[in-house]
Amino acid sequence: MATKYVYFFGGGKADGKGTMKDLLGGKGAGLAEMTNAGVPVPPGFTITTDVCRYYYANKQKLPKELEAQQKAAMDKLQKIMKKGFGDPKNPLLVSVRSGAKFSMPGMMDTILNLGISEKVTAGLSELTGNERFAWDAYRRFIQMYGNVVAGIEKSDFEHVLEAQKHKRNIKQDTELTVSDLKEVVANYLKVYEKHTGESFPQDPWKQLEGARNAVFKSWNNPRAIYYRKQNKIDDNLGTAVNVQSMVFGNMGDDSATGVGFTRNPSTGNKEFYGEYLTNAQGEDVVAGIRTPRPIVHLGEDIPQAYKELRAITAQLEKKYRDVQDFEFTIEKGRLFMLQTRTGKRTAAAAVKIAVDMVKEKLITKEEALMRVEPEALDQLLHPVIDPKAQLKVIAKGLAASPGAATGRAVFDADSAAERGGKEPVILIRQETNPDDIHGMDAAKGILTARGGMTSHAAVVARGMGRPCVAGCEEIKVSEADKTFRINGTTVKENDWVTIDGSTGRVILGQVPLIDPEISGEFGVFMGWADATRKLKVRANADIPRDAKVAREFGAEGIGLCRTEHMFFAEDRLPFMQQMIVATDVEARKAALAKLLPFQKEDFVGLFREMKGYPVTIRLIDPPLHEFLPKTKEDAEVLSKKIGVPTEKIMQAAEELHEFNPMLGHRGCRLGITYPEITEMQTKAIIGAACDLAKEGIKVVPEIMIPLVGNISELKDQKDVITRIADATIKEAGAKVQYMVGTMIEVPRAAVTADQIAQEAEFFSFGTNDLTQMTLGFSRDDAGKFIKVYLDKKIFKEDPFQTLDQIGVGQLMDGAVKKGRGVKKDLKCGICGEHGGDPASVKFCHRIGLNYVSCSPFRVPIARLSAAQAVIESKAKSGSGYSMK
């Protein structure tokens, strides 16, 4: 039997099948599948990849059986369409497209309207009653064919078109009249003749031969060869050719064209959604010349086709088990589906659709959980920029804390704090530091020129749920002049500025925002995530207010309370500073004694808010100079407050100055040199737990020692803690349990985790510092060069944002194994910023951590990521759910 080279599709039946991608190419197989499924795609036929391979194996000759098979397919097509190929009275026009097994953008441009000629143009004018449309179709065909088949530069045709517009003194193509188009066509034909030495083919069969052979040739054009090399696609696969009938929505009032979704893509509501135009072509819908009508009215205009469209799209949604975004054309009452694909949707719609489809038994809960991007949940929790708004984007920085904010520019924290209660302000700084917190809290958003994803601004803003764009190096901030400059624009104090912390965009002017709305479906959806995940999710929170937000977002404890943040409040800072400038132990203890009640009160608040959930409290961590005044004027103010001479304060600041504070006197090194600080903090933590225990509220504080690299450091601090804790409990006569553990954030701690685990009752990976120290990248300064690294693709991701799994991750994996080798059930968590990053959360699941901890607003993202991690590993191991 002769080899079958041509596969027909149409009339409800296709010769091929969806599985025949090798032979029919991806597009051809798809068309066959849709046809067999009863979807009325415009009929046509596919010339197989065998023909392409034959063509190259036989010096660019085609198999002799092809012509007859192609002719038979075309005859069938004419019958089904009730039109004639080349018949001026009732012409059948076709499109010709390449289609390899794998989609190869850039291989060959599509040729539309093939079959048109001078005579057919006249016939088409009559049929559509639209002479202009017919001549424009002919013009476009000559241009496409001339370029793709005859290899004439597009610009040669464009010059003709431009010259015509110039002659007539018009700007838009749409302003060209019928006689203009006729002139353009005449000139196009001349271009063609000049280039090829032949006249333009008027015979449709000749056109088809030219287009088909051009597709086979295009398989080996340089763009295609390059693409295959890049994407490791086999050069011998070959391409198929798809010949498909053109259909027209502009054949009268019983014709139409439109686009739609099977559900509302912005709300997720189950409603037929879309728009259409009668007596129009696809372009008219997008071009905005006529206003399209909502799709429900199609039922009044062309009822039968509308009914069919409803039935078919519903069937497609069922078949693909997801929302479909479709394009259709109705030609003289007959419906054709041009395209259907998975519909893009907002986060709110994604959650609603996922939940609804489970209720409709279309998908499983696990599939529903995989249908929503964890990062997209951010859209549900923060205001976003109104998608309809016109934006003047002036710069781009790091998307450091999600959500959008609009407000007046202010350049210092005090102004932000003062004005923030009355009007929206955006705090703009070179970089922020701990004494900017009050301003950050009062501002609607924060913009900094320096600093990376774990810089102060980024970490604090995320904790507060404040939108932040950090490390926007393009802007030149002058805090003194209260301005910033970017590409010749100067933004002054009080100018309106908008930031989008989800994308890093900085926008000039006031922009309308849309507030989030949390739907009932969100709760149901997150409930499924909770039932699926194995990882617990905690939050990084320092004060009761943040802890409350964290609980509302579903946090199951606090994974990191950075106690130093408690010392920056106005009523405590002077005592802290007094403690720092003290020259002897006694003076230091006296200052600490004043801080004690504040600390205790903070912990009581935090424990109460967390209602029995675990709370990990980290002892003081940052270098002390961060607490001291930076200028002489500030030192004078402090001097008056605490009665220490200005010079002495300045001198202390000078002495505490370090060249590399991140690797200096910080972390457990503070507690080791000043044990009285550890003593005070322990007293406050355990004292608070005792007070609550007496009220019948159980809390098990987890006291955490930062920056440990050596077992002896841990031992030293643990001794202080247990001594004071046991004494405090005894004195209070209460029953309180507590744990002492450590952060693993120095590489040495990770590689000696078996030793560390002998003393530690838990591990918490501080991946901000662990990344900094493993990569040797300063977390505050890396923004500058990481941007270049990302542009040059040296790194795929910012390692401060998403965990470097191969490097830092390897240290973590090893540390967990070593630690659990010593203590089988050692509790291990993560509290670096990576704890809220989906890919990193999934990694934490895989290495067997007990929990992740992240800023409160990222808690839902972590909950969903943790659930997806379970589903993905099940799919990998082959049990249960399989990812389609």
Give the interface with ligand PEP as residue ranges (CB under 6 A).
560, 562, 621, 745, 766-769, 831-832
The CB-of-747 to ligand PEP minimum distance in angstroms stands at 12
Residue owning tokens 């004639």: 84
Q: How many CA atoms lie within 13 A of 448 on its CB side?
A: 31
The CB-of-594 to ligand PEP minimum distance in angstroms stands at 25
Q: How many CA atoms lie within 13 A of 456 on its CB side?
A: 18
Q: How far is Cα 519 from Cα 493, in angstroms, rounded to an integer?
A: 38
Polymer length of the chain? 884
The CB-of-854 to ligand PEP minimum distance in angstroms stands at 10
CB of 99 or CB of 766, closer to ligand PEP: 766
Task: Exactly one of 382, 456, 625, 845 is catalytic; name it.
Answer: 456
The CB-of-666 to ligand PEP minimum distance in angstroms stands at 9
CB of 24 or CB of 453, closer to Mg ion: 453
Residue closest to Mg ion when measured from CB atoms: 769
- Pairs from 62-70 (Cβ < 8 Å, separation ≥ 24): 62/213, 63/3, 63/5, 65/2, 65/3, 65/5, 66/5, 66/6, 69/4, 69/5, 69/6, 70/5, 70/6, 70/45, 70/208
Positions touching Mg ion (CB under 5 A) are 745, 766, 769
Q: Alpha carbon 646 to chain centroid distance?
A: 51
For residues 132 and 177, the answer to whether their CB atoms sit within 8 Å is: yes
Dihedral sign for Cα atoms in the order 816, 819, 824, 828 = negative
- Pairs from 131-134 (Cβ < 8 Å, separation ≥ 24): 131/178, 132/177, 132/178, 132/181, 133/250, 133/281
Q: Which two tokens stand for residue 781?
A: 């300064």
The CB-of-440 to Mg ion minimum distance in angstroms stands at 20
Task: Exactly one of 831, 844, 845, 854 is catalytic; name it.
Answer: 831
Q: How far is Cα 566 from Cα 143, in angstroms, rounded to an integer?
A: 71
CB of 20 or CB of 704, closer to ligand PEP: 704
Q: How far is Cα 861 from Cα 840, in angstroms, rounded to an integer?
A: 11
- Type of residue found at 551: R
- Beta-strand runs (E) in 577-622: 615-618
223 phi and psi angles, rounded to 5 deg? -60, -45
The CB-of-658 to Mg ion minimum distance in angstroms stands at 16
The CB-of-749 to Mg ion minimum distance in angstroms stands at 11
* Residue 83 interacts with which of Mg ion, ligand PEP, none, CB < 5 to 8 Å by class: none
Beta bridge partners of 497: 407, 508
* Residue 831 interacts with which of Mg ion, ligand PEP, none, CB < 5 to 8 Å by class: ligand PEP
The CB-of-355 to Mg ion minimum distance in angstroms stands at 39
Scanning 82-177, the segments in alpha helix (DSSP H) are 118-128, 131-148, 154-168
Choose among 813, 863, 803, 805: nearest CA to 833: 803
For residues 722 and 633, the answer to whether their CB atoms sit within 8 Å is: no
CB of 435 or CB of 745, closer to Mg ion: 745
CB of 415 or CB of 563, closer to ligand PEP: 563
Scanning 611-710, the segments in alpha helix (DSSP H) are 632-642, 646-656, 668-673, 675-694
Burial class (CB in 10 A: 0-12, 13-18, 19+), 332: middle
* Residue 560 interacts with which of ligand PEP, Mg ion, none, CB < 5 to 8 Å by class: ligand PEP
CB of 432 or CB of 771, closer to Mg ion: 771
CB of 317 or CB of 745, closer to ligand PEP: 745
Q: How far is Cα 257 from Cα 282, in angstroms, rounded to an integer?
A: 6
HEC string for 684-750: HHHHHHHHHHHCCCCCCEEEEECCCCCHHHHHHHHHHHHHHHHHHHHHHCCCCCCEEEEEECCHHHH
CB of 546 or CB of 769, closer to Mg ion: 769
* Residue 623 interacts with which of Mg ion, ligand PEP, none, CB < 5 to 8 Å by class: none
The CB-of-560 to ligand PEP minimum distance in angstroms stands at 6
Q: How far is Cα 778 from Cα 147, in angstroms, rounded to an integer?
A: 54
Question: If DSSP codes are grouped into helix, strand and coil, which group holds residue 264?
Answer: coil
CB of 33 or CB of 564, closer to ligand PEP: 564
Burial class (CB in 10 A: 0-12, 13-18, 19+), 63: middle
Question: If DSSP codes are grouped into helix, strand and coil, which group holds residue 150?
Answer: coil
CB of 560 or CB of 760, closer to ligand PEP: 560
CB of 15 or CB of 745, closer to ligand PEP: 745
* Residue 562 interacts with which of ligand PEP, Mg ion, none, CB < 5 to 8 Å by class: ligand PEP
Active site residue 844: no
CB of 445 or CB of 832, closer to ligand PEP: 832
* Residue 108 interacts with which of Mg ion, ligand PEP, none, CB < 5 to 8 Å by class: none
HEC string for 51-87: HHHHHHHCCCCCCCCHHHHHHHHHHHHHHHHCCECCC
Choose among 610, 560, 550, 615: nearest CA to 381: 550
CB of 742 or CB of 768, closer to ligand PEP: 768
For residues 767 and 833, the answer to whether their CB atoms sit within 8 Å is: yes
Active site residue 456: yes
The CB-of-528 to Mg ion minimum distance in angstroms stands at 34
The CB-of-571 to ligand PEP minimum distance in angstroms stands at 23
The CB-of-706 to Mg ion minimum distance in angstroms stands at 6
The CB-of-621 to Mg ion minimum distance in angstroms stands at 6
Q: How far is Cα 316 from Cα 341, in angstroms, rounded to an integer?
A: 9
Q: Which two tokens stand for residue 450?
A: 């320096």
Q: How far is Cα 829 from Cα 811, in angstroms, rounded to an integer?
A: 14
Q: How far is Cα 874 from Cα 884, in angstroms, rounded to an integer?
A: 13
Enumerate the active-site residues. 456, 831
